[in-house]
Each structure stands twice: as C-alpha cells, then as structure tokens.
A and B are shown apart, each in its own frame.
Chain A
Amino acid sequence: MGGFWHSTRRAPVPALAVILAVSPGQVSAQIPETPREIVDYVDRLLRGESSSGRIAMEIETENWSRRLQLEVWSRGRDYSIIRVLSPRSEAGTATLMVEDQVWNYLPRADRTIKIPPSLMMGAWMGSHFTNDDLVKESQLIEDYDIFLGYEGDRDGVEVWEFHLTPKPEAAVVWDRIEYQVRKSDMMPTWALYFDEDGEVARTMTFSEYEMMGGRLVPAVMSIVPTDKPGESTTVIYEDVDFDVELPDDFFSLRNLRSGR
C-alpha cells in the first residue's frame, strides 16, 4: 500500500539538496566554456562549502495546500539539517541528512526516527520531493554525459540547452535531463526530467534571480509533476548566508533534537 506515501518519482537529482545548500561556493574566476564546464558551474552555483538560510516551501496538491517556513543549514555535499519553523503545530520538526541517511525528529512524540531505505522514495513532508532527493546531491557531471543540444535565442534570451544522458554505470532513474541556462549570467531557467518512456516526468523552473549572501541565485524554484499538472512544490529563498561557520557536531542527532 505504498500509495499512502504520496508517491513521487524517484529523483537522484539536485532538487532540494542543491537548493537547500544554495551557495555559489568557490565559483572559479575562470570562465566556463565547454558544456561540461558550464553545467558544472551551474551545478556548483547551487552548492557551497556551507550555508544557512530561511526558505518557504509552498506545496499544492489536489487535496490540500500548505506553506512551510523552514530553516536550513548545510555543509559540503554530505551534511544538512532542515527545521520547520511554521506552521506552529509542526514547528520543531527537523530532518538531518548525513551522507545517504535521513533522520526525522518529531517534537510531538519527542523521538528521532531513521527513515528506512524502503521509504527513501516517500515524500518529504508531503512535498513533491522525496527523502531521496534530500540526500542525493547533484552529481551531474559525474553521472551524465553532457552535450550542447541548442544554442541561441529563445523568446529573446540567449540560452544554452544541454542534454544530459546517464553514463552506463550511473545509478540514476532518469532517461535524460534537459537543462536550460541563460548565457548572460549563467543562471539556470528550467530543467526537464524524462522518464524511461521518454516522457517528461517533472519540470523544474527557476526564477526570481536575486543577490543573496553576496551572490546571484535563483530565489524561486518550482517543481511540477507531469502526471499531476495541478500540483506543485515551490521553494522560495528568503534569506541565505554562505560560507558560515558551523561546528563539527552541528550535524548531529543531539543537535537535531535540541533545536540548535
């Protein structure tokens, strides 16, 4: 009866982890030129050595819609914590990710539970992100062969469109990914995820490019599953700091419970 977990398509893609760890990090001074370099640049644009921030997550489903206020911290690829600030009834609920493992702290029960591997594909907090999305950070250049599929004008904007096809040995579920990047500032605009039937399974769009923490980032990211066009999850950055100092024991179960 897996259907009770709003089944979200498997997605070992940047998704939330990337966005939560939003940080240009060490954006190299060198200007990327090849498709591989450009995708890597965009990829790393959304990730940093460490970051902290506040985001809003708006979830629309056919049965309900809700808005979560979240506080997030991350360090490198492998560590992050997300804590719910509101709604009040769920405040304090927190998720710790260390490498490929996920723990949830439930303040109401005052217990921490580890998400079993069988439920990594379950939805995170009812959103269109899976638990798996949280821990699989972007490895685009490692997992995919990258080609330039289109270069030129789209609605008056100069863009690149990259086609990413999985390398034979890569453990990914997508048949391919298409990624559009604006030429002018190297900001991503959208990404399409294709399933094994060659159909678009979900669409991610980036918008509201703003300076945050001293860097230009897409402040709004929205994901729409193709099979439920009326549903979506939108992540809105309200405030982000990059390269923050986080102590070694910050990403611990104890800290998960204590609420910092």
Chain B
Amino acid sequence: MSGSVWWRIGWRNVWRNRRRTAITVGALALGFVSSTIMIGLSEGIVAQMIENGTDLLTGQIQIHQEGFKPERSLYTTVGGREGTDLEQLLALVRRQPGVRGVAPRVYAGGLVSSGEETSAGIFMGLQPDLERDVSRILEALEDGTMPDPGVREVLLGAEMAEKLGVSVGDEVVLVAPAADGSMGNDVYQVAGIFRTGAAELDNSYTLLLLETLQSLIAMQPDRVHEVAVAVTEVWAGPDVAASLEEQIRRAGIQVRVEAWTDFRSDLAEYAQLAASFNWVIVLIVFIMAIFGVANTMLMATWERRREFAVVRALGSPSTGVIRTVVFETIVLGIVSLGLGAVVVVPLVAWWSTAPPDLSWMVGDFTMAGSLVRANLRVEPSLEGPLISAVGLLITVFLAGLYPAVRSALQRPADILAGAD
C-alpha cells in the first residue's frame, strides 16, 4: 500500500471522535505555543542582556589596529603609523548592512587632580553625535551639560568626582603621557558628571570631546584608537564583524575587528547556556503532553479493538495496525502544529513589539555586569518554533507507539470471541 493511503486513513480516523480530537489538538497546540513563547522569553532575556552589556560603552563590534590589544598602546592607532582617512573609514563601516551606528574613540591613561586629591583615570575622547548611535554612556549624564567644542571641558564619572571632591563648574587638572613623549597637562572645567551604575566607568572614566583629548596627548586629528560599531541585530554581530574586517583589510588597513562574542565572551557563554536550556523547556512541556496524548490514543484504540481484530482476521499484518495508529497520532500532531502556528505568529509579533514592562514590579537590575531592564520581551526567532515543532512531533510519535503496539499484540480470535 502506498504511503498516502496511511495518511488518508490517519486523517479519517482523527475526525471520528471530533470532540476528543479537538481537546487533544488544543492541548498539543497549547504545548507548542507555550514552549515557543518560553523559548522566546528566554532568548529575549539573553538578547537584552547582550544589548545592555554592549550598549553601555563597548558597542557590539570594535575595530582596532592589529596589535592594539592587549597592551592598548597610545601609538597603536587605526591605520598604523601613517594613520588613515578617518571619514572614509567611518563611511565604509556605515555602508555595511546591519550596521546601526559608528563612533571613533581615542583613549589615554593619566591623572585627574583637584587640590590635594589625585586619581588615576582613563581618558576617553568621543564625538557625541556619533557616540549616541553606538553607546548609552552619554545618556548617563547626571548633572551638567555636554562639553562644548573649542573649550577645555570634561565629563567626570560620579565616583571619581566624589573622590576628587569636585562638582559641575569646578576645575580639574588632567595629566597624560603624550604621543610626542612630553607630559600633556592642562586645566579643564567639569562640564558634567555621569553615573552609569557600572563602578569601573564611574570611578575611572573621564570623557572629553575627541579633539580635546587629541590636543592634550599631542595626537593628530585623524588618529583614533578604536572605532565602535552598533549593529541592528546582536546575533548578527560576529558575521558583520567578519565581513567588516575583510573589507577594511582590502582597503589596506591592518585592523582587527572583534564582535561582542570576542570581547564579552562571558555574555556569549551565557547565551550558549541559555540556548541549551531551550531543549529542557521543550522536554518539560512535551513530557507533560505525552501522557495526555497516550491516554487519548489508548482510549481511541480500545474503542476500536474489534475493528482491529477484524482487520487482522482478514489477513492484515500486525504492522498494519501499528501504522494505522501511529499515522493517526502524527496527523493529530500536524493538525495541532497548524493550530499552534496560527496562534503563535500573531502572539509573538505582538509580544516582541510591545513587551509588558515589569520594571514597576522588580525594578532594573544588574546581571553578569549588564544592566537588565525588567521587561518580558519575546525574541522572535526560527529556532524556538522549530525545536518546539520537533518536540511536538516526537511526542505524538512516542505517544502513539504504545497504543499502536498494544493494539497489534491483541489476539484477534480472543477479541472477536468477546474475551477482553
């Protein structure tokens, strides 16, 4: 008998008891929907952790000159000793599909001093209009205003400002070894104070306009240490990084392009752990479903024990009975999958665009060094529904197998004699 006949038999059998089928299909579809949503939520939390962990300062991709890390030498600027046409490089990066923002940065290490107090710090030069597309560091401004171009102004981390005893409007001295070997130093006015919640930034970072820092450390205007990139989709980070590296190298600049999976490997590892946990979700949901379906099928086959006996008595092999039942459950599964898909698509679409904000309940919190906003966003992905579908089909197959084998093992003569 050809395969399509078994499908047809399965399809017909499914609709013999409509109410029972509807309940079973409903239960399976619910299992599929909840498994998809739970995986989506878990991925949503992970994606948010990654976004929060990389949005604050690093961006999802960083471009450095080869050899910049780990020493972070003042002299290892993008483009090497000859430097590079910065505007052209930024434009090249910006053209890359999947890139949301590009920001150049200059770093220096030095001292911040006020009165008797002196503190070691990291000076970061940035372009505010570009930086806002990549990181949230400037949103953390707690007091004061952005530094103005052309004047010597800085933004201090809140903890450093506290340590130095300065507030907005006060003066601080910055000292840093400059690129020409001299000791760069000058007086700067505190334009603003930022508080990110990340202690490392709040107690050691000092932000300046790119050109202000370049002038302190005697560095030419088109020399930068880092180009930070934000991408539209965090998971695409490594792919975008790889193609960026290829393109920039083709333009003759020996850069190293890293995605967040490289410089925040802790986040990448956590994401991996969370992904393996998705299977656990599927397992739990469908282990519960498997007994319900098996029970239904046991009932359905029990009702039809005489029918099977007749079929067997007429010469059909026991595998025929097994097939009948298994195909019936698989059809049941496919129908459930269809119903589940109809429900899950609009649900995920809504949940991913308008996630319920739970921060009124738990507030924002920090996890693994990343600020997590407590909103329950479902991350739309193919993986969730796919592994849920696989889980569902395995479930119905296994749930059908036992009743099928049981039916096949009945002795037709006993059944027909009424000895059951």
Residues of A within 8 A of B (CB): 1-6, 59, 61, 63-66, 87, 89-90, 93, 104, 106, 108-111, 113-116, 118-119, 123, 125-126
- A112 CB to closest chain B CB (Å) equals 9
Question: Which residue of the partner chain A has the closest CB to B176?
Answer: A4
Whether, in the assembled complex, B183 has its beta carbon less than 8 Å from a beta carbon of chain A, the answer is: yes
Contact between B116 and A114 (Cβ–Cβ < 8 Å)? yes
Contact between B109 and A116 (Cβ–Cβ < 8 Å)? no
Whether, in the assembled complex, B186 has its beta carbon less than 8 Å from a beta carbon of chain A, the answer is: yes
| Residue numbers in B under 8 Å from A114 (CB-CB) | 113, 116, 118
State which of A106, A116, A118, A123 has its C-beta within 8 Å of the C-beta of B177.
Answer: A123
In the bound assembly, the distance between CA atoms of A228 and B118 in angstroms comes to 30
Interface flags, B173-195, vs A, CB<8A=1, else 0: 10111011111011100000000
Residues of B within 8 A of A (CB): 70-75, 107-111, 113, 116, 118-120, 122, 173, 175-177, 179-183, 185-187
Q: A116-B118, A116-B119, A119-B111 are in contact. Are A3 and B71 (CB under 8 A)?
A: yes
- Most A C-beta atoms less than 10 A away, residue of B109, B119, B120, B176: B120
| Residue numbers in A under 8 Å from B179 (CB-CB) | 63-64
Contact between A90 and B113 (Cβ–Cβ < 8 Å)? no
| Residue numbers in A under 8 Å from B109 (CB-CB) | 1-5
| Residue numbers in A under 8 Å from B185 (CB-CB) | 106, 108-109
Contact between A4 and B113 (Cβ–Cβ < 8 Å)? no
Q: A3-B73, A63-B75 are in contact. Are A111 and B173 (CB under 8 A)?
A: yes
- A129 CB to closest chain B CB (Å) equals 13
| Residue numbers in A under 8 Å from B186 (CB-CB) | 108-109
- A60 CB to closest chain B CB (Å) equals 10
| Residue numbers in A under 8 Å from B120 (CB-CB) | 116, 118-119
| Residue numbers in B under 8 Å from A125 (CB-CB) | 183
Contact between B118 and A61 (Cβ–Cβ < 8 Å)? no
| Residue numbers in A under 8 Å from B176 (CB-CB) | 4
Contact between A126 and B183 (Cβ–Cβ < 8 Å)? yes
In the bound assembly, the distance between CA atoms of A64 and B120 in angstroms comes to 24
Question: Which residue of the partner chain B has the closest CB to A2?
Answer: B109
| Residue numbers in B under 8 Å from A110 (CB-CB) | 187
Q: A90-B183, A116-B119 are in contact. Are A4 and B173 (CB under 8 A)?
A: no
- B185 CB to closest chain A CB (Å) equals 4
In the bound assembly, the distance between CA atoms of A126 and B179 in angstroms comes to 10
